[in-house]
Amino acid sequence: MSKFLKLATAATLALVIPAASASAEGDPASGAKVFKKCAACHAVGEDAKNKIGPLLNDLIGRTAGTVEGFKYSKAMIAAGEGGMSWDDESLDAYLEKPRDYIKGNRMSFAGLKKDGDRADVIAYLKTFSEGAQSAAAAPAPAEAPAPSTQQQAAAVPAPANAPKAAADAPLPDHGVFHLGRAATAEEIAAWDIDNRPDGPGLPEGRGTVAEGEVLFTDSCAVCHGDFGEGRDRWPVLAGGQDTLKAERPVKTIGSYWPYLSTVYDYVRRAMPFGDARSLSDDDVYAITAYLLYLNDIVTDEDFELSKENFTSVHLPNEENFIMDDRDEEAQYVAKGEPCMSDCKPGSVKITKRAMVLDVTPEGGDDEQQGAGSVD
């Protein structure tokens, strides 16, 4: 596939000088939440290992590009060799726009735009960095407390809600039990973001293939690959046409998914992984358009997908979905008492053995790879 759009990514490459404010002290508890955006690729804490990105223990004071066993970009190694190390200032600048601060590095995270988010996540990372412990008297990383299993019984907590006093408060007039209250239109709009194949639920908006390519490269390619080919075991989004009858089908939006509405709905509600609901409605139209382009369903880079033309686009595999007809399979149709004795002629032979494959995990970190996956 050679259709990578050479868009104006270069235009925005002005080197960003970190704003002088190496910002106020961040809050590690808030940082723990912000870090969830990073956690798809980075691990930190006890037992952390390198993932798509390097592990972040002892980050503060570390020379860039030096975690053992992690394959860095040339750019990141060069930065380290040039003397760059991670501190408040460099992290703040890098996290604001990773691509601009170290050009050519492989982290395709778009960046944390809010100063407070960056300060918080840096404060959080400091709690896992010995080098930073002396400076900031590390508060424990704030996670929900695990149910206490040790030592003394917790003091008996007061009831969460004191019994409501009013014996004669008016009951709502709905239903049988008169429980719950009316949902407001704003509340429904906040949660009801689903859309259907026939159109209902799509928001106003539009986006082009070209716009989608920029967004996809920034927010999606880190897992799905620049062309939707899927990195590691992350889902493949494009290609795979004519493989559904093959020994190893490749099930993508273009080869398998029946409806485009599902793409829009899913990206809008759950992507990017670890930063759900961060894309605008227009962004989602643009990314959906780009996914159509990657799957050769549209071929024009200027194609614009919108609420108006959305239902006119059909995915190639729509007709190949059928209703559940398991009941009609031979083994279920042939009802009756099963055989109890002399059911097979001669002795039974072993035909397949799990030990031959030897892909059963044993609790270590063996890099076995079996066939199939759960997705």
Partner 1 sequence: MSSVTGRKKLLSQSADSAANPAAAVASPSRRQLLGAGLAAGAGAALSGLAARPAAAAGDPVITEIQDWNRYLGDGVDARPYGMPSPYEEQVVRRNVPWLTADPVSSINFTPLHELDGIITPNGLCFERHHAGIAEVDPAKHRLMIEGLVDKPLVFTMEDIKRFPRENRAYFLECAANSGMEWRGAQLNGCQFTHGMVHCVVYTGVRLRYLLEEAGVKTNGKWLLAEGADASAMTRSIPMEKALDDCMVAFKMNGEALRPEQGYPLRLVVPGWEGNMWVKWLRRLEVGDMAWHQREETSKYTDLLADGKARRFTWVMDVKSVITSPSPQAPITHGRGPLVISGLAWSGSGTIKRVDVTTDGGRNWTTARIDGPSLPKALHRFYLDIDWDGSELLLQSRAIDENGVVQPTKDELRLARGENSIYHNNGIQTWYVQANGTVENVEVS
Contact string 179-218 vs partner 1 (x = CB under 8 A):
xxxxx---xx--xx-x-xxx--------------------
Residues numbered 328 to 347 that lie near partner 1 (CB under 8 A) are 329-332, 335, 338-344, 347
How many angstroms separate the CA atoms of 105 and 77, rounded? Answer: 9
Of the two residues 17 and 374, which places its CB atom closer to partner 1 in the complex? 374
Task: Give, as ranges, the residues between 66 and 105 that touch partner 1 (CB under 8 A).
Answer: none
Q: How far is the CB of 29 from partner 1 (least distance, A)?
A: 13
Cα distance between residue 129 and residue 27, in whole Å? 15
Q: How far is the CB of 74 from partner 1 (least distance, A)?
A: 25
Give the separation between CA 89 and CA 115, rounded to whole angstroms.
Answer: 12
Residue from 5, 39, 67, 136 in contact with partner 1 (CB under 8 A) = 39
Q: Which of 288, 294, 217 is nearest to 12 (CA)?
A: 217
6 lies in the binding site for partner 1 (CB under 8 A): no
302/342 with CB nearer partner 1: 342
CB of 266 vs partner 1, minimal distance in Å: 4
Please, which residue, 302 or 328, has the CB nearer to partner 1?
Answer: 328
**Binders of partner 1 in range 119-158 (CB under 8 A):** 143-144, 147-149, 151-154
Q: Report in angstroms how near the CB of residue 333 gets to partner 1 at its nearest.
A: 10
Handedness of CA 86, 89, 92, 98 (dihedral sign): negative
71 or 353, CB closer to partner 1? 353
Distance CA 244, CA 238 (A): 14
Helices (H), 106-154: 115-126, 130-133
Buried b (16+ CB within 10 A) or exposed e, 295-307: bebbeebebbbeb
Q: Restricting to residues 228-247, which ones interact with partner 1 according to CB under 8 A? A: 232-234, 244-245
Per CB under 8 A, which of residues 250..289 are in contact with partner 1? 251, 253, 256-259, 261-262, 265-266, 269-270, 273-274, 276
Q: How far apart are CA 31 and CA 143, in angstroms?
A: 11
Q: How far is CA 301 from CA 263, 296, 298, 332, in A?
A: 19, 11, 8, 50
